[in-house]
Structure 1
Amino acid sequence: MKRVIYLLFAAVLLASCNSKPKEMAVTVENPSDFDRTTDLVELSLDGVKAKVTLAEGQAYVVKNAKGEIIPSQVTYDGKLVFQSGVKAKETVTFTVSAGEKQEFKAQTYGRFITERKDDFAWENDRVAFRIYGPALIASDGPSNGLDIWYKRTNDMIIDKWYKDELSGTASYHEDRGEGLDDYKVGRSLGAGAMAPFVNGKLWLNENFASQELLENGPLRTTLKLTYKDLDVDGKAYSETRTFSIDAGSQFSKVVQEYGVAEDMTVAAGIVKRPANDTIIVSPEKDYIIYREPSEKAGPVYLGLVFPAGIDSMVVDTYKVANAKTKKDDAYSHVLAVATYKANQPIVYYTGYGWSKFGFADEAAFQTYTSNFSKGLKQPLVVKF
C-alpha cells in the first residue's frame, strides 16, 4: 500500500511540475504622448522565477511580438531588463522563456582605468563619462568632479581612446570622426557631480578612494565609488556615489549618499563658463539645462534632472588655490540646490546632448530632457 501511495505522490508532483508554464507573456504600455523606445522594462527576477523555471545551464530569453530574441540582462539588484520599443500611446507584448544563454553586443560599458592614473570611465551608445581616482592627486591635485567625453558614434570607444592616447597613436583631445575630450573640470563639480552646500559654500571632497563595478552591460552598467570622509563645517560625513547608465539614454543615474543624521542642503553643479552660455530652469524645477560653449566641439547641452524637484537654482563663484601655479583659480557653477534627507540617498540624473550627434539646437535637447523627466514620473505600465 505504501508503494502505491508513493507512486501516486510522485505522479502528482510530476504533473504539478509539468503544468508550470515554460514561458510568460509581458505587456508593456506607454502612457506618454512621446516615444519611449529605448526605455528599459524592469521585471522583478523573483516574479519571473515564479513563472518560468530554468534548467541547469539555461538563461531567461526575451522575445518580441515577432518571435525575435532581443537583448536582455539580469541586473545585480535582481531585475530582468530589456528595451521596451514602445512608441507614443502604444502597447506591445513580449514573452520570457527558458533557453540557451545569449551573447549580445554591448550597448553600455565601464572600466577602472589603472593604466591612466585610476580613472573610472563608463559609456553607452550615446554618451561617455569619467571620474578621477586616487593616483591622479599627486600630479593634478584633488578633483572629484564629473568629466564628459563628447562622442558621436554608437560604438563603445573607452578602451580604444585610452589605448590610442597612452600609446601616442592618437589624442582623444582631437576629433577624428568619433568625438573628443574637450570638457574642462579642474577643482569643480564638472558636469553634474554633487557636494554639500552648507552656509553658502560648496564643500568639495577629493578623488574617490575605492571603486566597485557592480554590473557591466549589455544594457546597463553600474559602478559604486566610495570617498574618504568629508569635513563639512567641522563635521565628518561619509560619502558614496553610485552611477548607472542604460542603453540609449543621454543621462546617467546618480544615487548620492552621505552619512548624515539630519537634513542637509546639497547641490549638483555644472561648471559655468565666462561667456556665450545659457541657462534654462524648468517651470516645475525638475530639470536644469546649461549650454556649454565649447570652442572645439561646438555647442554641447548639459542637463540635470531631479525627479523630486529642486529647491532653487543658484550661480555660485569661488576661488581655489592652485598648488602648481601658486595662484588662485576662479570657478563658477550653475547649482541645482536640493535638500538631502537624513539617512535617505538622493537620486538625480546628469547627462548631455551634442549638436554633432542628434541635437541640432538647445530646443531639441530641452524637449528630450523634458520628456525624460516626464517619463520618470509616469513609468511604463508593465503587466505579466
Structure 2
Amino acid sequence: MNKVSFKLICAIGCIFSCFLYGQRSVKVVNSLDFSRNEVVAIPRTMLKSFLHKNSEEELRIKDAKGKWLPIQWIDYDADGKNEELLFLVNIDAGKTNVYSIVADGSVQIPGIGISTYSRLVPERVDDYAWENDKIAFRVYGPKGQQEALQGIKSSTLSSGVDIWLKRTDQPVINKWYKGYLTDPMYYHKDTRGEGYDPYHVGNSRGTGGIGIWKNEKLQVSQNFVTSRTIAEGPLRTVFELTYQPWSEYEVKETKRVSLDLGSNFSKFESAFESEKPVPNYTIGITLHKNEGKTQLNDQNGYYLHWEKIDDAFVGEGIVINPKIVEKSIAFTSNVPDESNLYVITKPYKTLTYYAGFAWQKSGQVQTEKDWEKMLQKQASIIAKPLVVEVGE
C-alpha cells in the first residue's frame, strides 16, 4: 500500500469515526503573557447540537496529542439537568489550544489523584468547609451561633471566613475533623506535616467576609442559616449559603462559593435584596494585631495582606473588578477583631470577588513579592479570561 492510499484510508476512517461517534472541536485562547493551568467551563447551550445526537454519559474530551482529559458536569439549580461542562486546561502564554469533544463511552474518564471538596460538618457543630489541592477554608453555621450565644467557647459567632494552612495537595477536611472528635486541638497543631489552623477569625472578616461600612463601623451578618452543596469535585466544588436579614438595611443574602482545582482563590458571588437602599458592600481581611503589611491597589483591583503567623508568613488577598470599587482602607483599631483591610464597593445587587491566600510553608510563596505576583496574575485572569469556542 502506498503512502497516498494509506493517508486516504486514515482520513476516511477519521470522517467515519466523527460521523459515528459525534465530534466537535473546542478552541481555547490565552491572550495573557504567562502560561495558565485553569478549569474551563463550557455552557450546555454551546453543546446543544452535540447532545442532540449523543448523551452526556458518552462525552469525552481529548487534547491535540490524543490525551483524554478529566471532566466534570455541574447541575447548578438541582433540576436534574447539567448546565455546565468543566475540563482542565494547561495553556502556554499567548497560545491557542484545540481540543476534541468525542462521544465514546468506552473511554474511561481519567482520574488525577487530587480534587476539590466541600461539605457541611455536623461533627464540629455545623461548620461548612471547602478545599482543593492548595488551600482550605471554613465558615460557621446556625448551631455554632446558638452555642456561642450560650457562652460555649468552642463555638463561633461570626460571618468571617476562616483559612486552614495546608502543605499537602491531599484532602484534609475529613481527616482533620475526624481527629477533632477525640482531640479538639487536633487541627490546631502542625504535627503531621500537613498543615494546621492557627488563624483567628473571631468577629473580624477573616479572609473575604463582607459587611456594610457606615460611620467608621462595619455592619455584618451573623452565621449562615442554610447550606446547599452543589458540586463536590473533582475540578470544582460549589455550594450556597443563606443568611438571616442583617444590618439596619435588612439585607437578604445568598452567597455562592466555588473553588477550582489548582487555584489559591475562592470565588464569592453574593446576591442581595434589601428593604432600603444600601450605601455599599464591603469586603474585608483581618489585620489581627496590626503587625503585618498591607497593599491597596484600587487601579488593578487587588489587595494584599502579608503577616507572620507563628514561625512562617501568610499572604491573604482580595481580587475584584476595579470598576466596582469605590475605595479601600486599612482600618486599625484597639478593639479586638475590628482592624481590617476593607474594600468598599458600589452597592450592586450581586457582588463577585475572589479571596485567597498562600502559606510560606506550602512552598507556593516565600516573600511578600511572590504573593503580590500571584495577586497580579489573578487580577489579569479576571480581566482577560480564557476564550472558549465550540466548533464543528
Normalized against structure 1, the TM-score is what? 0.86
Identify the residue that residue 374 of structure 1 maps to in structure 2: 380
2-side partners of 1:182 and 1:141: how far apart?
15
2-side partners of 1:191 and 1:81: how far apart?
27
Is 1:224 aligned to residue 240 of structure 2? yes
Is 1:110 aligned to residue 118 of structure 2? yes
Identify the residue that residue 325 of structure 1 maps to in structure 2: none
The amino acid across from 1:212 in the alignment is R
Shift of the 275–204 alpha-carbon distance from structure 1 to 2, 3 Å rule, reads closer
Is 1:71 aligned to residue 70 of structure 2? yes
Identify the residue that residue 327 of structure 2 maps to in structure 1: 312
Is 1:26 aligned to residue 13 of structure 2? no
DSSP-derived class of the 2:187 partner: coil
- Equivalent pair of 2:25/2:99 in contact (CA under 8 Å): yes
Q: CA deviation at 1:330?
A: 5.2
Shift of the 88–228 alpha-carbon distance from structure 1 to 2, 3 Å rule, reads same
The amino acid across from 1:222 in the alignment is V
Is 1:262 aligned to residue 277 of structure 2? yes
The counterpart of 2:303, out of the listed 288, 298, 302, is: 288
The counterpart of 2:358, out of the listed 353, 361, 368, is: 353
Q: CA deviation at 1:265?
A: 1.1
- Equivalent pair of 1:23/1:97 in contact (CA under 8 Å): yes
Which string of whole-angstrom CA distances, capped at 9 and with x for unpartnered residues, describes residues 27-76 of structure 1? 21211001112x12221212213134565683321111221211111122
Q: CA deviation at 1:292?
A: 2.4
The counterpart of 2:346, out of the listed 327, 330, 339, is: 339
- Equivalent pair of 2:236/2:259 in contact (CA under 8 Å): yes
Shift of the 204–263 alpha-carbon distance from structure 1 to 2, 3 Å rule, reads closer
Runs (4+) of structure 1 exceeding 4 A deviation are 18-21, 52-57
2-side partners of 1:59 and 1:169: how far apart?
46
The amino acid across from 2:255 in the alignment is R
2-side partners of 1:24 and 1:57: how far apart?
14
- Equivalent pair of 2:288/2:337 in contact (CA under 8 Å): no
Q: CA deviation at 1:336?
A: 0.9
Q: CA deviation at 1:216?
A: 1.2
Q: CA deviation at 1:106?
A: 4.9
Which string of whole-angstrom CA distances, capped at 9 and with x for unpartnered residues, describes residues 116-144 of structure 1? 00000000111100001111121235211
Structure 2 unmatched runs, 5+: 1-17, 77-82
1-side partners of 2:181 and 2:104: how far apart?
42
2-side partners of 1:231 and 1:283: how far apart?
26
- Equivalent pair of 2:201/2:337 in contact (CA under 8 Å): no
- Equivalent pair of 1:196/1:204 in contact (CA under 8 Å): yes
Is 1:88 aligned to residue 79 of structure 2? no
Q: Which has the higher strand share?
A: 1
RMSD over equivalenced CA pairs, Å: 2.2
The amino acid across from 2:360 in the alignment is S
How many residues get paired? 353
Q: CA deviation at 1:293?
A: 1.8
Shift of the 19–103 alpha-carbon distance from structure 1 to 2, 3 Å rule, reads closer
DSSP-derived class of the 2:352 partner: strand
Is the deviation greater in 362-371 or in 255-264?
255-264
- Equivalent pair of 1:23/1:52 in contact (CA under 8 Å): no
The amino acid across from 1:73 in the alignment is Q
Question: Where do 1:209-220 residues align within 5 Å?
Answer: 209-220=225-236
Is 1:300 aligned to residue 320 of structure 2? no
Shift of the 129–30 alpha-carbon distance from structure 1 to 2, 3 Å rule, reads same
Structure 1 unmatched runs, 5+: 1-17, 320-327
Normalized against structure 2, the TM-score is what? 0.84
- Equivalent pair of 1:54/1:60 in contact (CA under 8 Å): no
- Equivalent pair of 2:119/2:129 in contact (CA under 8 Å): yes
Identify the residue that residue 237 of structure 1 maps to in structure 2: 251
The amino acid across from 1:243 in the alignment is V
